[in-house]
């Protein structure tokens, strides 16, 4: 039976004073497990992350130290897909602008604006990355009559076509998408994956959606594209800096819909996530491979038993 100890640390030194001899660490948000923290974990076997993204952990440092890192990639997929689809619909119907018009007393200005917006049926939804959330979004978008295309160099084209999604190159994704939804994990390859060049390649009528990781989009370039009319609108659940600075231009734009990083939040999310991350850590502490290891190259070097096949249906966990 493992003893659970909550560490309310505000610095790396405070954390390591309590956790240096821990055999497992469970984390989510609020405290980064940096390379220096990893170096101070003398007994650690596993770091369990209670989210899909693991950018709060220096995974390379953990791998070098022989520590398994796990996540929960399949717990709140449907919730995030629901929220993403809500952002698509809100962006399509310019809900922020419609709401502002009513509150300002501009009742009759809404229809002329929407008269310039094509109906959703027949529009193209582009998915950047094709992991679990993107697949769930594709299944939601198709009944609305949307064509769905995707780019993900780590997922088989047959997996995409099996879901009724057309695989395309990244440049074609940018050029064809009426709605572009970001689903890539945050890593060195995907940071600022959408920047000035990418926005310039998109349609001026395009709407950008992000309910994944904020820094995958270059926010300054996004603001410039919105201000110049390079793209039409954005609907974002995540930002580069959270919470945003009070002078962030996105806060004052009528063509930008913002929600406060809540796509996964429901009554189910926290208890189920905690149980799942607990099971992952428990597997490692009992000497077995976890179900979702984000640094699988570490597994041959640790004294854990392989007891299940390695899933290969999705791209990298990080």
d(CA 279, CA 216): 30
Q: Do the domain assignments include residue 88?
A: yes
- Give the residue carrying structure tokens 């850590």: 281
pLDDT of 91 above 50: yes
Q: Do the domain assignments include residue 317?
A: no
- Cα torsion at 212, 214, 220, 224 (round to 10°)? 20
Q: Do the domain assignments include residue 27?
A: yes
d(CA 76, CA 70): 16
Q: What is the mean pLDDT of residues 10-21?
A: 86
Q: Do the domain assignments include residue 177?
A: yes
Q: Do the domain assignments include residue 7?
A: no
Share of the chain above pLDDT 90, in %: 77
Neighbours of 9 (CB within 10 A): 16
Q: Which pLDDT band holds residue 317 (cuts at 50, 70, 90)?
A: low
Question: How many structural domains comprise the chain?
Answer: 2
Both 91 and 177 in one domain: the answer is: yes
Task: Give me the CATH number covering residue 198.
Answer: 3.40.50.720
Q: Do the domain assignments include residue 91?
A: yes
pTM for the structure as a whole? 0.86
Neighbours of 40 (CB within 10 A): 16
Both 151 and 196 in one domain: the answer is: yes
Helix axes 77-92, 95-104, angle to 10 degrees: 60
Cβ atoms of residues 295 and 73 within 8 Å: no
Q: Which pLDDT band holds residue 312 (cuts at 50, 70, 90)?
A: very low
Both 291 and 155 in one domain: the answer is: no
- Is it true that the peptide bond before 243 is cis, omega within 30 degrees of 0? yes
Cβ atoms of residues 202 and 228 within 8 Å: no
Both 160 and 284 in one domain: the answer is: no
- Give the residue carrying structure tokens 């996964």: 264
Q: Which residue has the higher pLDDT, 228 or 53?
A: 228
261 belongs to the catalytic site? yes
Domain that holds residue 281: 12-75+267-301
pLDDT of 277 above 60: yes
d(CA 132, CA 137): 9
Both 230 and 283 in one domain: the answer is: no
Share of the chain above pLDDT 70, in %: 96
103-117, 192-206, 267-281: which has the minimum mean pLDDT? 267-281
User: What is the reported pLDDT for 48?
Assistant: 94
Tell me which of 93, 176, 261, 279 is the catalytic residue: 261
Both 219 and 135 in one domain: the answer is: yes
183 belongs to the catalytic site? no
Tell me which of 213, 276, 314, 318 is the catalytic residue: 213
d(CA 54, CA 187): 9
Q: Which long-range contacts (CB under 8 A, 24 or more apart) does 59-65 make?
A: 59/294, 59/295, 59/318, 60/35, 61/34, 61/35, 62/33, 62/38, 62/295, 62/298, 63/295, 63/297, 63/298, 65/38, 65/39, 65/41
- 207 - beta bridge partners? 179, 233
- Give the residue carrying structure tokens 């999705």: 314
Residue 209: phi and psi, rounded to 5, are -120, 140
Both 70 and 86 in one domain: the answer is: no
Model pLDDT for residues 234-246, shown as the tens digit of each residue? 999 999 999 999 9
Q: What is the mean pLDDT of residues 256-266?
A: 95
Which residues are within 8 A (CB) of 313 and not within 5 positions of it... i.e. 6 or more apart? Answer: 155, 159
Q: What is the mean pLDDT of residues 262-274?
A: 90
Buried-exposed string 134-169: b where 16+ CB fall within 10 A, e elsewhere = bbbbbbbbeebebbbbbbbeebeeebbeebebbbbe
Both 105 and 94 in one domain: the answer is: yes
Q: Which pLDDT band holds residue 3 (cuts at 50, 70, 90)?
A: confident
Both 228 and 122 in one domain: the answer is: yes
Both 160 and 93 in one domain: the answer is: yes
- Give the residue carrying structure tokens 């820094």: 215
Q: Do the domain assignments include residue 112?
A: yes
Tell me which of 18, 204, 242, 313 is the catalytic residue: 242
pLDDT of 29 above 80: no
Both 234 and 209 in one domain: the answer is: yes
Mind giving me the DSSP string for 109-165? GHHHHHTTS--STT-EEEEES-SHHHHHHHHHHGGGT-EEEEE-TTS-HHHHHHTT-
User: What is the reported pLDDT for 1?
Assistant: 62
Both 254 and 122 in one domain: the answer is: yes
d(CA 230, CA 224): 8
Q: What is the mean pLDDT of residues 204-225?
A: 97
Of 54-58, 176-180, 292-296, 308-312, highest mean pLDDT: 176-180
Q: Do the domain assignments include residue 171?
A: yes
């Amino acid at each position: 039976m493992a003893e659970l100890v909550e560490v309310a640390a505000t610095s790396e030194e405070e954390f390591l004073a309590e956790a240096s001899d821990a055999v497992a660490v469970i984390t989510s948000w609020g405290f980064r497990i940096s390379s220096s923290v990893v170096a101070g974990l003398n007994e650690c076997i596993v770091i369990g992350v209670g989210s899909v993204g693991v950018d709060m952990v220096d995974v390379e440092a953990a791998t070098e130290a022989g520590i398994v890192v796990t996540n929960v990639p399949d717990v709140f997929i449907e919730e995030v897909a629901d929220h993403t689809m809500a952002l698509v619909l809100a962006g399509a119907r310019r809900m922020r602008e419609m709401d502002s018009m009513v509150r300002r007393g501009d009742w009759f200005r809404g229809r002329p604006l929407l008269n310039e917006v094509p109906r959703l049926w027949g529009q193209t939804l582009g998915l950047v990355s094709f992991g679990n959330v993107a697949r769930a979004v594709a299944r939601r978008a198709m009944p609305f009559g949307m064509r769905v295309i995707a780019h993900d160099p780590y997922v088989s084209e047959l997996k995409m076509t099996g879901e009724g999604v057309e695989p395309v190159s990244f440049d074609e994704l940018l050029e064809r998408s009426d709605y572009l939804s970001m689903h890539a994990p945050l890593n060195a390859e995907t940071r600022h994956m959408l920047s000035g060049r990418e926005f310039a390649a998109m349609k001026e009528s395009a709407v950008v959606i992000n309910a994944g990781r904020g820094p995958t989009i270059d926010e300054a370039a996004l603001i410039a594209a919105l201000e110049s009319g390079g793209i039409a609108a954005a609907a974002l659940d995540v930002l580069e800096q959270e919470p945003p600075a009070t002078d962030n231009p996105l806060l004052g734009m009528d063509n930008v819909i913002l929600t406060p990083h809540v796509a996964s939040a429901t009554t189910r999310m926290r208890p189920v996530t905690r149980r799942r991350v607990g099971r992952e850590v428990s597997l490692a502490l009992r000497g077995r491979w976890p179900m979702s290891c984000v640094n699988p190259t570490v597994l041959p070097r640790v004294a854990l038993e392989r007891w299940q096949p390695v899933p290969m249906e999705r791209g990298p966990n990080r």
